[in-house]
Structure 1
Protein backbone atom coordinates (compact mmCIF):
# COMPACT_ATOMS: atom_id res chain seq x y z
CA UNK A 1 0.00 0.00 0.00
CA UNK A 2 2.85 2.33 0.82
CA UNK A 3 4.47 1.78 -2.59
CA UNK A 4 1.14 2.36 -4.37
CA UNK A 5 0.47 5.63 -2.55
CA UNK A 6 4.04 6.78 -3.26
CA UNK A 7 3.56 6.13 -6.98
CA UNK A 8 0.34 8.12 -6.96
CA UNK A 9 1.98 11.04 -5.20
CA UNK A 10 4.86 11.06 -7.68
CA UNK A 11 2.62 11.25 -10.73
CA UNK A 12 2.79 14.57 -12.54
CA UNK A 13 -0.53 16.41 -12.77
CA UNK A 14 -2.17 16.06 -16.15
CA UNK A 15 -1.78 19.18 -18.25
CA UNK A 16 -5.09 20.68 -19.44
CA UNK A 17 -5.90 20.12 -23.09
CA UNK A 18 -7.22 23.30 -24.66
CA UNK A 19 -8.86 21.29 -27.41
CA UNK A 20 -11.12 19.61 -24.85
CA UNK A 21 -12.72 22.88 -23.73
CA UNK A 22 -16.42 23.27 -24.60
CA UNK A 23 -16.95 25.13 -27.88
CA UNK A 24 -18.88 27.99 -26.25
CA UNK A 25 -16.09 28.56 -23.74
CA UNK A 26 -13.43 28.47 -26.45
CA UNK A 27 -15.43 30.94 -28.52
CA UNK A 28 -15.66 33.27 -25.53
CA UNK A 29 -11.88 33.12 -25.06
CA UNK A 30 -11.10 33.74 -28.74
CA UNK A 31 -13.46 36.72 -28.88
CA UNK A 32 -11.29 38.46 -26.29
CA UNK A 33 -8.35 38.53 -28.70
CA UNK A 34 -7.57 41.43 -30.99
CA UNK A 35 -9.20 41.14 -34.42
CA UNK A 36 -5.80 41.12 -36.12
CA UNK A 37 -4.63 38.21 -33.94
CA UNK A 38 -7.79 36.21 -34.62
CA UNK A 39 -7.49 36.66 -38.40
CA UNK A 40 -3.75 36.11 -38.72
CA UNK A 41 -3.03 33.60 -35.93
CA UNK A 42 -5.90 32.05 -33.94
CA UNK A 43 -7.99 30.75 -36.83
CA UNK A 44 -4.92 29.03 -38.28
CA UNK A 45 -3.94 27.13 -35.11
CA UNK A 46 -6.06 24.02 -35.60
CA UNK A 47 -9.20 22.80 -37.39
CA UNK A 48 -11.34 23.30 -34.26
CA UNK A 49 -10.37 26.94 -33.88
CA UNK A 50 -10.76 27.49 -37.60
CA UNK A 51 -14.32 26.15 -37.46
CA UNK A 52 -15.12 28.34 -34.46
CA UNK A 53 -13.83 31.39 -36.33
CA UNK A 54 -16.14 30.59 -39.23
CA UNK A 55 -19.13 31.43 -37.05
CA UNK A 56 -20.38 34.88 -38.23
CA UNK A 57 -21.37 35.77 -34.66
CA UNK A 58 -17.67 35.69 -33.75
CA UNK A 59 -17.29 38.84 -35.82
CA UNK A 60 -19.98 41.12 -34.46
CA UNK A 61 -17.13 43.27 -33.11
CA UNK A 62 -14.24 44.15 -35.43
CA UNK A 63 -11.67 46.40 -33.77
CA UNK A 64 -8.39 47.23 -35.51
CA UNK A 65 -7.58 50.38 -33.59
CA UNK A 66 -4.65 49.51 -31.32
CA UNK A 67 -2.17 50.93 -33.82
CA UNK A 68 0.69 53.41 -33.49
CA UNK A 69 2.73 54.85 -36.34
CA UNK A 70 6.03 54.02 -34.65
CA UNK A 71 5.09 50.44 -33.78
CA UNK A 72 3.62 48.79 -36.83
CA UNK A 73 3.49 45.03 -37.27
CA UNK A 74 1.61 45.35 -40.54
CA UNK A 75 1.45 47.85 -43.38
CA UNK A 76 -1.72 49.87 -43.93
CA UNK A 77 -2.53 47.79 -47.00
CA UNK A 78 -2.19 44.60 -44.99
CA UNK A 79 -4.42 45.95 -42.21
CA UNK A 80 -7.07 46.86 -44.75
CA UNK A 81 -6.97 43.30 -46.11
CA UNK A 82 -7.33 41.93 -42.57
CA UNK A 83 -10.32 44.21 -41.98
CA UNK A 84 -11.96 43.07 -45.22
CA UNK A 85 -11.39 39.45 -44.25
CA UNK A 86 -13.08 40.00 -40.87
CA UNK A 87 -16.00 41.73 -42.58
CA UNK A 88 -16.38 38.78 -44.96
CA UNK A 89 -16.31 36.31 -42.06
CA UNK A 90 -19.06 38.28 -40.31
CA UNK A 91 -21.46 37.54 -43.20
CA UNK A 92 -23.28 40.79 -42.48
CA UNK A 93 -23.50 40.34 -38.70
CA UNK A 94 -20.89 42.98 -37.76
CA UNK A 95 -22.35 45.53 -35.34
CA UNK A 96 -19.30 47.36 -34.00
CA UNK A 97 -16.31 48.38 -36.16
CA UNK A 98 -13.31 50.49 -35.16
CA UNK A 99 -10.45 51.37 -37.51
CA UNK A 100 -7.43 53.62 -37.07
CA UNK A 101 -4.98 55.22 -39.52
CA UNK A 102 -5.34 52.72 -42.37
CA UNK A 103 -8.93 53.42 -43.46
CA UNK A 104 -9.70 54.44 -47.05
CA UNK A 105 -12.76 55.38 -49.08
CA UNK A 106 -12.59 51.97 -50.75
CA UNK A 107 -12.66 50.23 -47.37
CA UNK A 108 -15.69 52.28 -46.29
CA UNK A 109 -17.44 51.37 -49.53
CA UNK A 110 -16.65 47.70 -48.94
CA UNK A 111 -17.91 47.99 -45.38
CA UNK A 112 -21.12 49.77 -46.38
CA UNK A 113 -22.19 46.97 -48.72
CA UNK A 114 -21.49 44.16 -46.25
CA UNK A 115 -22.37 45.46 -42.78
CA UNK A 116 -25.99 46.59 -42.91
CA UNK A 117 -26.46 45.80 -39.21
CA UNK A 118 -23.75 48.18 -38.04
CA UNK A 119 -24.65 50.02 -34.84
CA UNK A 120 -21.32 51.52 -33.81
CA UNK A 121 -18.56 52.96 -36.01
CA UNK A 122 -15.27 54.47 -34.86
CA UNK A 123 -12.86 56.06 -37.36
CA UNK A 124 -9.60 57.42 -35.97
CA UNK A 125 -7.17 59.63 -37.90
CA UNK A 126 -7.71 58.06 -41.32
CA UNK A 127 -6.22 60.64 -43.69
CA UNK A 128 -7.24 58.64 -46.76
CA UNK A 129 -10.95 58.92 -46.00
CA UNK A 130 -12.72 61.87 -47.62
CA UNK A 131 -16.02 63.57 -46.87
CA UNK A 132 -17.37 62.07 -50.09
CA UNK A 133 -16.41 58.60 -48.91
CA UNK A 134 -18.07 59.21 -45.53
CA UNK A 135 -21.26 60.47 -47.18
CA UNK A 136 -21.57 57.38 -49.39
CA UNK A 137 -20.87 55.18 -46.39
CA UNK A 138 -23.45 56.53 -43.92
CA UNK A 139 -26.25 56.21 -46.47
CA UNK A 140 -26.07 52.45 -45.90
CA UNK A 141 -26.01 52.57 -42.09
CA UNK A 142 -29.64 53.18 -41.18
CA UNK A 143 -29.22 51.26 -37.88
CA UNK A 144 -26.20 53.25 -36.68
CA UNK A 145 -26.50 54.36 -33.04
CA UNK A 146 -22.96 55.54 -32.20
CA UNK A 147 -20.46 57.41 -34.38
CA UNK A 148 -16.97 58.40 -33.26
CA UNK A 149 -14.65 60.22 -35.68
CA UNK A 150 -11.30 61.85 -35.04
CA UNK A 151 -10.16 63.79 -38.07
CA UNK A 152 -7.29 65.79 -39.56
CA UNK A 153 -9.51 67.01 -42.38
CA UNK A 154 -12.48 69.24 -41.66
CA UNK A 155 -15.76 67.36 -41.83
CA UNK A 156 -18.26 68.92 -44.21
CA UNK A 157 -21.69 70.27 -43.34
CA UNK A 158 -23.21 67.98 -45.97
CA UNK A 159 -21.74 64.88 -44.35
CA UNK A 160 -23.27 65.75 -40.99
CA UNK A 161 -26.62 66.59 -42.57
CA UNK A 162 -26.62 63.21 -44.30
CA UNK A 163 -25.88 61.45 -41.01
CA UNK A 164 -28.96 63.09 -39.51
CA UNK A 165 -31.12 62.08 -42.45
CA UNK A 166 -29.76 58.56 -43.01
CA UNK A 167 -29.15 57.48 -39.42
CA UNK A 168 -32.39 58.22 -37.52
CA UNK A 169 -31.37 55.95 -34.61
CA UNK A 170 -28.14 57.83 -33.89
CA UNK A 171 -27.84 58.51 -30.16
CA UNK A 172 -24.13 59.21 -29.63
CA UNK A 173 -21.83 61.44 -31.68
CA UNK A 174 -18.18 62.17 -30.87
CA UNK A 175 -16.16 64.39 -33.22
CA UNK A 176 -12.52 65.18 -32.43
CA UNK A 177 -10.35 67.53 -34.47
CA UNK A 178 -6.73 66.28 -34.42
CA UNK A 179 -5.38 69.25 -36.38
CA UNK A 180 -2.82 71.40 -34.57
CA UNK A 181 -5.22 74.37 -34.33
CA UNK A 182 -8.83 74.80 -33.24
CA UNK A 183 -11.17 74.89 -36.25
CA UNK A 184 -14.28 76.93 -36.89
CA UNK A 185 -17.18 74.47 -36.86
CA UNK A 186 -20.33 76.61 -36.63
CA UNK A 187 -22.02 75.43 -39.83
CA UNK A 188 -21.39 71.82 -38.88
CA UNK A 189 -22.81 72.35 -35.38
CA UNK A 190 -25.92 73.96 -36.83
CA UNK A 191 -26.31 70.97 -39.19
CA UNK A 192 -26.14 68.59 -36.22
CA UNK A 193 -28.69 70.60 -34.26
CA UNK A 194 -31.02 70.71 -37.25
CA UNK A 195 -30.96 67.02 -38.18
CA UNK A 196 -30.09 65.02 -35.02
CA UNK A 197 -32.83 65.73 -32.53
CA UNK A 198 -32.57 62.22 -31.05
CA UNK A 199 -28.99 62.57 -29.75
CA UNK A 200 -28.37 61.59 -26.11
CA UNK A 201 -24.59 62.05 -26.07
CA UNK A 202 -22.59 64.68 -27.96
CA UNK A 203 -18.89 65.48 -27.69
CA UNK A 204 -16.64 67.87 -29.60
CA UNK A 205 -12.88 68.31 -29.32
CA UNK A 206 -10.59 70.86 -30.94
CA UNK A 207 -13.24 73.24 -32.28
CA UNK A 208 -14.28 76.84 -31.59
CA UNK A 209 -17.63 76.91 -29.83
CA UNK A 210 -19.58 79.94 -28.57
CA UNK A 211 -23.06 81.12 -27.60
CA UNK A 212 -24.62 80.58 -31.03
CA UNK A 213 -23.39 77.02 -31.35
CA UNK A 214 -24.37 76.15 -27.80
CA UNK A 215 -27.85 77.62 -28.19
CA UNK A 216 -28.38 75.67 -31.40
CA UNK A 217 -27.44 72.44 -29.62
CA UNK A 218 -29.81 73.10 -26.73
CA UNK A 219 -32.71 73.90 -29.06
CA UNK A 220 -32.06 71.18 -31.62
CA UNK A 221 -31.11 68.30 -29.32
CA UNK A 222 -33.59 68.38 -26.42
CA UNK A 223 -32.90 64.76 -25.38
CA UNK A 224 -29.20 65.30 -24.67
CA UNK A 225 -28.08 63.65 -21.45
CA UNK A 226 -24.38 64.46 -21.82
CA UNK A 227 -22.53 67.24 -23.64
CA UNK A 228 -18.73 67.30 -23.58
CA UNK A 229 -17.08 70.48 -24.89
CA UNK A 230 -14.20 70.65 -22.42
CA UNK A 231 -11.56 70.34 -25.15
CA UNK A 232 -13.07 73.17 -27.19
CA UNK A 233 -12.33 76.90 -27.01
CA UNK A 234 -14.55 79.95 -26.61
CA UNK A 235 -13.59 83.27 -28.17
CA UNK A 236 -15.83 85.12 -25.70
CA UNK A 237 -17.25 84.36 -22.28
CA UNK A 238 -20.46 82.36 -22.54
CA UNK A 239 -23.71 84.12 -21.73
CA UNK A 240 -24.49 83.41 -18.03
CA UNK A 241 -28.18 82.73 -18.73
CA UNK A 242 -27.16 80.26 -21.42
CA UNK A 243 -24.79 78.52 -19.05
CA UNK A 244 -27.56 78.28 -16.48
CA UNK A 245 -29.88 76.72 -19.05
CA UNK A 246 -27.17 74.20 -19.96
CA UNK A 247 -26.91 73.05 -16.35
CA UNK A 248 -30.70 72.80 -16.07
CA UNK A 249 -31.19 70.90 -19.34
CA UNK A 250 -28.15 68.60 -19.44
CA UNK A 251 -27.18 66.30 -16.57
CA UNK A 252 -23.61 65.50 -17.64
CA UNK A 253 -22.09 68.77 -18.84
CA UNK A 254 -18.53 69.88 -19.69
CA UNK A 255 -18.35 73.42 -21.08
CA UNK A 256 -15.58 74.79 -23.33
CA UNK A 257 -12.56 76.69 -22.08
CA UNK A 258 -12.49 80.47 -22.43
CA UNK A 259 -9.17 81.44 -24.06
CA UNK A 260 -9.25 85.07 -25.23
CA UNK A 261 -5.57 85.22 -26.18
CA UNK A 262 -4.47 81.77 -27.29
CA UNK A 263 -4.72 81.58 -31.08
CA UNK A 264 -6.51 84.90 -31.59
CA UNK A 265 -5.47 88.11 -33.32
CA UNK A 266 -5.72 91.67 -31.98
CA UNK A 267 -9.27 92.09 -33.29
CA UNK A 268 -10.53 89.10 -31.35
CA UNK A 269 -10.72 86.85 -34.41
CA UNK A 270 -8.96 83.59 -35.01
CA UNK A 271 -5.48 84.38 -36.24
CA UNK A 272 -5.18 81.07 -38.09
CA UNK A 273 -8.71 80.65 -39.37
CA UNK A 274 -8.34 82.28 -42.81
CA UNK A 275 -5.05 80.51 -43.37
CA UNK A 276 -6.59 77.17 -42.50
CA UNK A 277 -9.60 77.68 -44.80
CA UNK A 278 -7.56 79.03 -47.73
CA UNK A 279 -4.99 76.29 -47.51
CA UNK A 280 -7.49 73.46 -47.65
CA UNK A 281 -10.46 75.00 -49.48
CA UNK A 282 -9.62 73.21 -52.73
CA UNK A 283 -8.94 69.82 -51.20
CA UNK A 284 -11.24 67.01 -52.28
CA UNK A 285 -12.55 66.48 -48.74
CA UNK A 286 -14.35 69.87 -48.87
CA UNK A 287 -17.13 68.07 -50.72
Structure 2
Protein backbone atom coordinates (compact mmCIF):
# COMPACT_ATOMS: atom_id res chain seq x y z
CA UNK A 1 0.00 0.00 0.00
CA UNK A 2 2.82 2.40 0.90
CA UNK A 3 4.63 1.53 -2.32
CA UNK A 4 1.53 2.36 -4.29
CA UNK A 5 1.32 5.78 -2.60
CA UNK A 6 4.98 6.48 -3.40
CA UNK A 7 4.49 5.57 -7.06
CA UNK A 8 1.36 7.71 -7.18
CA UNK A 9 3.28 10.64 -5.72
CA UNK A 10 5.99 10.25 -8.36
CA UNK A 11 3.38 10.24 -11.11
CA UNK A 12 1.74 13.37 -9.70
CA UNK A 13 5.14 15.02 -9.44
CA UNK A 14 5.81 14.24 -13.07
CA UNK A 15 2.46 15.58 -14.16
CA UNK A 16 2.81 18.79 -12.16
CA UNK A 17 6.48 19.83 -12.26
CA UNK A 18 7.72 22.66 -10.10
CA UNK A 19 8.71 25.33 -12.62
CA UNK A 20 10.72 27.16 -9.98
CA UNK A 21 13.14 24.22 -9.81
CA UNK A 22 14.12 24.50 -13.46
CA UNK A 23 17.68 25.72 -14.14
CA UNK A 24 17.90 29.50 -14.50
CA UNK A 25 19.34 29.23 -18.01
CA UNK A 26 16.41 27.08 -19.12
CA UNK A 27 13.85 29.51 -17.69
CA UNK A 28 15.63 32.38 -19.42
CA UNK A 29 15.58 30.43 -22.71
CA UNK A 30 11.83 29.86 -22.38
CA UNK A 31 11.09 33.49 -21.55
CA UNK A 32 13.18 34.76 -24.45
CA UNK A 33 10.85 32.94 -26.85
CA UNK A 34 7.99 35.23 -25.84
CA UNK A 35 7.14 38.52 -27.48
CA UNK A 36 8.65 41.49 -25.64
CA UNK A 37 5.19 42.85 -24.77
CA UNK A 38 4.28 39.51 -23.16
CA UNK A 39 7.46 39.54 -21.07
CA UNK A 40 7.08 43.12 -19.86
CA UNK A 41 3.34 43.05 -19.15
CA UNK A 42 2.85 39.45 -17.96
CA UNK A 43 5.68 36.94 -17.66
CA UNK A 44 8.01 38.91 -15.40
CA UNK A 45 5.13 39.42 -12.91
CA UNK A 46 4.56 35.70 -12.37
CA UNK A 47 6.94 35.37 -9.40
CA UNK A 48 10.00 37.01 -7.79
CA UNK A 49 12.34 34.57 -9.56
CA UNK A 50 11.03 35.46 -13.02
CA UNK A 51 11.12 39.14 -12.11
CA UNK A 52 14.78 38.79 -11.16
CA UNK A 53 15.61 36.88 -14.36
CA UNK A 54 13.90 39.54 -16.47
CA UNK A 55 16.14 42.22 -14.93
CA UNK A 56 19.21 40.50 -16.39
CA UNK A 57 20.48 42.54 -19.40
CA UNK A 58 21.28 39.31 -21.24
CA UNK A 59 17.54 38.59 -21.32
CA UNK A 60 17.16 41.50 -23.68
CA UNK A 61 19.65 40.65 -26.40
CA UNK A 62 16.52 40.10 -28.52
CA UNK A 63 13.63 42.58 -28.56
CA UNK A 64 10.68 41.53 -30.71
CA UNK A 65 7.31 43.28 -30.81
CA UNK A 66 4.89 41.82 -33.35
CA UNK A 67 1.23 40.93 -33.86
CA UNK A 68 0.22 44.17 -32.19
CA UNK A 69 -3.23 43.98 -33.79
CA UNK A 70 -4.16 41.45 -31.11
CA UNK A 71 -2.57 43.42 -28.27
CA UNK A 72 -5.03 45.78 -26.51
CA UNK A 73 -2.48 48.60 -26.21
CA UNK A 74 -2.11 51.92 -28.00
CA UNK A 75 1.03 53.17 -29.70
CA UNK A 76 2.03 55.25 -26.68
CA UNK A 77 2.03 52.16 -24.45
CA UNK A 78 4.00 50.16 -27.03
CA UNK A 79 6.61 52.91 -27.25
CA UNK A 80 6.97 52.89 -23.46
CA UNK A 81 7.33 49.09 -23.41
CA UNK A 82 9.94 49.23 -26.16
CA UNK A 83 11.88 51.97 -24.38
CA UNK A 84 11.77 49.99 -21.13
CA UNK A 85 13.13 46.90 -22.88
CA UNK A 86 15.95 48.95 -24.44
CA UNK A 87 16.83 50.34 -21.01
CA UNK A 88 16.85 46.87 -19.44
CA UNK A 89 19.25 45.59 -22.12
CA UNK A 90 21.92 48.09 -21.00
CA UNK A 91 23.50 48.02 -24.44
CA UNK A 92 23.42 44.23 -24.89
CA UNK A 93 20.58 44.11 -27.45
CA UNK A 94 21.69 42.47 -30.70
CA UNK A 95 18.40 41.77 -32.46
CA UNK A 96 15.47 44.20 -32.79
CA UNK A 97 12.28 43.38 -34.69
CA UNK A 98 9.31 45.76 -34.70
CA UNK A 99 6.04 45.63 -36.61
CA UNK A 100 3.49 48.33 -37.40
CA UNK A 101 4.73 51.06 -35.09
CA UNK A 102 8.15 52.12 -36.33
CA UNK A 103 8.49 55.90 -36.04
CA UNK A 104 11.10 58.61 -35.79
CA UNK A 105 10.67 58.53 -32.00
CA UNK A 106 11.59 54.84 -31.94
CA UNK A 107 14.71 55.49 -34.02
CA UNK A 108 15.62 58.51 -31.91
CA UNK A 109 15.36 56.61 -28.62
CA UNK A 110 17.35 53.61 -29.86
CA UNK A 111 20.24 55.38 -31.49
CA UNK A 112 22.15 57.14 -28.67
CA UNK A 113 25.20 55.06 -27.75
CA UNK A 114 25.52 52.77 -25.88
CA UNK A 115 21.82 51.79 -25.86
CA UNK A 116 22.18 49.45 -28.84
CA UNK A 117 25.86 49.58 -29.73
CA UNK A 118 25.98 45.80 -30.24
CA UNK A 119 23.03 45.72 -32.65
CA UNK A 120 23.53 43.19 -35.44
CA UNK A 121 20.03 42.58 -36.74
CA UNK A 122 17.29 45.18 -37.29
CA UNK A 123 13.89 44.54 -38.80
CA UNK A 124 11.33 47.34 -38.90
CA UNK A 125 8.20 46.27 -40.74
CA UNK A 126 5.61 48.80 -41.86
CA UNK A 127 7.26 52.04 -40.88
CA UNK A 128 4.40 54.45 -40.30
CA UNK A 129 6.12 57.76 -39.54
CA UNK A 130 9.77 58.29 -40.30
CA UNK A 131 12.05 60.75 -42.02
CA UNK A 132 14.84 59.91 -44.40
CA UNK A 133 17.15 62.19 -42.42
CA UNK A 134 16.44 60.40 -39.14
CA UNK A 135 17.18 57.03 -40.73
CA UNK A 136 20.57 58.31 -41.90
CA UNK A 137 21.43 59.57 -38.41
CA UNK A 138 20.16 56.36 -36.85
CA UNK A 139 22.37 53.88 -38.71
CA UNK A 140 25.54 55.80 -37.94
CA UNK A 141 25.36 54.42 -34.39
CA UNK A 142 25.40 50.75 -35.46
CA UNK A 143 28.65 49.78 -37.20
CA UNK A 144 28.16 46.10 -36.27
CA UNK A 145 24.86 45.80 -38.17
CA UNK A 146 24.78 42.69 -40.37
CA UNK A 147 21.11 42.38 -41.33
CA UNK A 148 18.65 45.16 -42.15
CA UNK A 149 14.98 44.84 -43.13
CA UNK A 150 12.83 47.90 -43.73
CA UNK A 151 9.23 47.69 -44.93
CA UNK A 152 7.55 51.00 -45.65
CA UNK A 153 4.48 52.43 -47.35
CA UNK A 154 4.44 55.86 -48.92
CA UNK A 155 7.79 57.15 -47.74
CA UNK A 156 10.89 56.74 -49.85
CA UNK A 157 14.44 55.94 -48.91
CA UNK A 158 16.87 58.12 -50.78
CA UNK A 159 20.13 57.18 -52.42
CA UNK A 160 21.96 59.32 -49.85
CA UNK A 161 20.48 57.35 -46.93
CA UNK A 162 21.40 54.02 -48.49
CA UNK A 163 24.94 55.22 -49.10
CA UNK A 164 25.18 56.26 -45.44
CA UNK A 165 23.99 52.77 -44.46
CA UNK A 166 26.58 51.18 -46.73
CA UNK A 167 29.45 53.32 -45.44
CA UNK A 168 28.53 53.18 -41.74
CA UNK A 169 27.63 49.47 -41.67
CA UNK A 170 30.58 47.74 -43.39
CA UNK A 171 29.54 44.33 -42.00
CA UNK A 172 26.10 44.43 -43.64
CA UNK A 173 25.44 41.06 -45.27
CA UNK A 174 21.66 41.04 -45.72
CA UNK A 175 19.41 43.85 -46.96
CA UNK A 176 15.64 43.69 -47.46
CA UNK A 177 13.85 46.78 -48.78
CA UNK A 178 10.13 46.32 -49.30
CA UNK A 179 7.91 49.14 -50.53
CA UNK A 180 4.28 48.15 -50.15
CA UNK A 181 2.80 50.46 -52.77
CA UNK A 182 4.12 50.76 -56.30
CA UNK A 183 4.52 54.29 -57.57
CA UNK A 184 2.01 55.30 -60.24
CA UNK A 185 4.78 56.45 -62.52
CA UNK A 186 8.33 55.27 -62.91
CA UNK A 187 10.03 56.54 -59.78
CA UNK A 188 13.70 57.35 -59.31
CA UNK A 189 14.30 53.99 -57.71
CA UNK A 190 17.28 53.32 -59.95
CA UNK A 191 19.19 55.43 -57.41
CA UNK A 192 18.45 52.73 -54.83
CA UNK A 193 20.15 50.03 -56.88
CA UNK A 194 23.16 52.23 -57.66
CA UNK A 195 23.56 53.15 -53.96
CA UNK A 196 23.52 49.46 -53.02
CA UNK A 197 26.07 48.59 -55.69
CA UNK A 198 28.33 51.51 -54.76
CA UNK A 199 28.56 51.00 -50.99
CA UNK A 200 27.49 47.42 -50.12
CA UNK A 201 30.01 45.18 -51.84
CA UNK A 202 29.91 42.67 -48.96
CA UNK A 203 26.22 41.79 -49.36
CA UNK A 204 25.35 38.09 -49.38
CA UNK A 205 21.57 38.41 -49.47
CA UNK A 206 19.45 41.08 -51.16
CA UNK A 207 15.67 41.35 -51.42
CA UNK A 208 13.95 44.22 -53.18
CA UNK A 209 10.20 44.68 -53.54
CA UNK A 210 8.03 47.49 -54.90
CA UNK A 211 10.98 48.89 -56.82
CA UNK A 212 11.45 49.51 -60.54
CA UNK A 213 14.59 47.79 -61.78
CA UNK A 214 16.17 48.04 -65.23
CA UNK A 215 19.08 46.24 -66.80
CA UNK A 216 21.64 48.91 -65.93
CA UNK A 217 20.71 48.83 -62.22
CA UNK A 218 20.72 45.05 -62.00
CA UNK A 219 24.03 44.89 -63.84
CA UNK A 220 25.57 47.34 -61.35
CA UNK A 221 24.52 45.09 -58.47
CA UNK A 222 25.94 41.98 -60.14
CA UNK A 223 29.23 43.75 -60.91
CA UNK A 224 29.79 45.42 -57.54
CA UNK A 225 28.35 42.80 -55.15
CA UNK A 226 30.44 39.74 -56.08
CA UNK A 227 29.64 37.85 -52.84
CA UNK A 228 25.88 37.88 -53.47
CA UNK A 229 24.41 34.42 -52.86
CA UNK A 230 20.67 35.13 -52.92
CA UNK A 231 18.71 37.72 -54.87
CA UNK A 232 14.94 38.05 -54.47
CA UNK A 233 13.22 40.31 -57.00
CA UNK A 234 9.79 38.72 -56.73
CA UNK A 235 8.09 42.03 -55.87
CA UNK A 236 10.04 44.14 -58.38
CA UNK A 237 9.15 45.32 -61.86
CA UNK A 238 12.13 44.23 -63.92
CA UNK A 239 11.91 45.94 -67.29
CA UNK A 240 13.81 45.18 -70.49
CA UNK A 241 16.23 42.60 -69.08
CA UNK A 242 18.36 41.22 -71.89
CA UNK A 243 18.77 37.45 -72.42
CA UNK A 244 22.47 37.65 -71.61
CA UNK A 245 21.78 39.48 -68.34
CA UNK A 246 19.18 36.88 -67.37
CA UNK A 247 21.68 34.16 -68.12
CA UNK A 248 24.32 35.85 -65.98
CA UNK A 249 21.88 36.07 -63.07
CA UNK A 250 21.22 32.34 -63.37
CA UNK A 251 24.93 31.55 -63.40
CA UNK A 252 26.10 34.01 -60.73
CA UNK A 253 23.33 33.84 -58.11
CA UNK A 254 22.82 30.54 -56.29
CA UNK A 255 19.39 31.41 -54.87
CA UNK A 256 17.53 33.53 -57.44
CA UNK A 257 13.86 34.46 -57.19
CA UNK A 258 11.71 34.26 -59.21
CA UNK A 259 14.04 31.88 -61.02
CA UNK A 260 11.39 30.86 -63.56
CA UNK A 261 11.39 34.39 -64.93
CA UNK A 262 15.12 34.21 -65.58
CA UNK A 263 14.89 30.72 -67.07
CA UNK A 264 12.60 31.66 -69.93
CA UNK A 265 13.58 30.36 -73.34
CA UNK A 266 15.35 33.61 -74.29
CA UNK A 267 17.80 32.99 -71.43
CA UNK A 268 19.47 30.43 -73.66
CA UNK A 269 19.76 32.79 -76.56
CA UNK A 270 22.25 35.53 -77.27
CA UNK A 271 21.26 39.15 -77.53
Same-fold call, TM cutoff 0.5:
yes
State the TM bucket, normalised to the shorter chain.
0.7 to 0.9
For residues 9 and 52 of structure 1, the distance between their equivalents in structure 2, rounded to whole angstroms, comes to 34
- Structure 1 contact 62–96 (Cα < 8 Å) conserved: yes
Change (3 A) 1:33 1:240: same
Give secondary structure in 1 for the equivalent of 2:172.
coil
Residue aligning to 1:178: 180
TM score, norm. by length of structure 1:
0.83
1:240 to 236, 243, 246: 243
Is residue 250 from structure 1 mapped to residue 253 from structure 2 by the alignment? Answer: yes
Residue of structure 2 in register with 1:218 after alignment: 222
Please name the residue that 1:101 is paired with: 100
Residue 274 (structure 1) aligns with: none
8 Å CA contact retained: 2:86, 2:110: yes
Give the RMSD, CA atoms, in angstroms: 2.0
Alpha-carbon spacing, 1:189–1:93, altered in 2? closer, same or farther (3 Å): same
Structure 1 runs of 4+ with >4 Å offset: 5-12, 180-183, 255-258
CA contact (8 A) 2:122 2:148 kept: yes
CA distance in 2, matches of 1:257, 1:214: 17
Conserved in 2, the CA contact under 8 Å of 1:201 and 1:226? yes
* Greater Cα shift, 103-112 or 169-178: 103-112
Per-residue CA deviations over 1:213-250 (Å, capped at 9, x if unaligned) read: 111111111110111112111233x1111111112211
Secondary structure, counterpart of 2:171 in structure 1: coil
Q: What's the counterpart of residue 285 of structure 1?
A: none
Query: Would you say the 8 A contact 1:149–1:174 is kept in 2?
Result: yes
Give the match for residue 162 of structure 1.
164
**Alignment-derived partner of residue 86 in structure 2:** 87
Alignment of 1:196 with 2:200, yes or no, is: yes
Residue equivalent to 1:33:
34
Give structure 2 stretches of 5+ with no counterpart.
Answer: 262-271
Q: CA deviation at 1:256?
A: 8.7
Give how far 1:212 is off.
Answer: 1.1
Question: How far does the alpha carbon of each residue in 1:78-105 deviate from its partner, in whole angstroms, 9 at most, with x for none?
Answer: 1111111111111100000011121221
1:9: how far off? Answer: 6.2
2-structure distance, mates of 1:246, 1:252? 10
Q: Distance in 1 between matches of 2:225 and 2:21?
A: 53
Do the aligned partners of residues 45 and 7 (structure 1) sit closer, same or farther apart at CA in structure 2, a change above 3 Å counting? Answer: closer
Normalized per residue, which structure has more helix?
A: 2
In 1, are the aligned partners of 2:127 and 2:150 still within 8 Å (CA)? no
SS in 2 for 1:174: strand
Write the deviation string for residues 241-286 of structure 1: whole angstroms up to 9, x where unpaired.
Answer: 111111221111125998xxxxxxxxxxxxxxxxxxxxxxxxxxxx
The answer to whether the Cα contact below 8 Å between 1:197 and 1:220 also exists between their aligned partners in 2 is yes
Corresponding residue for residue 138 of structure 2? 137
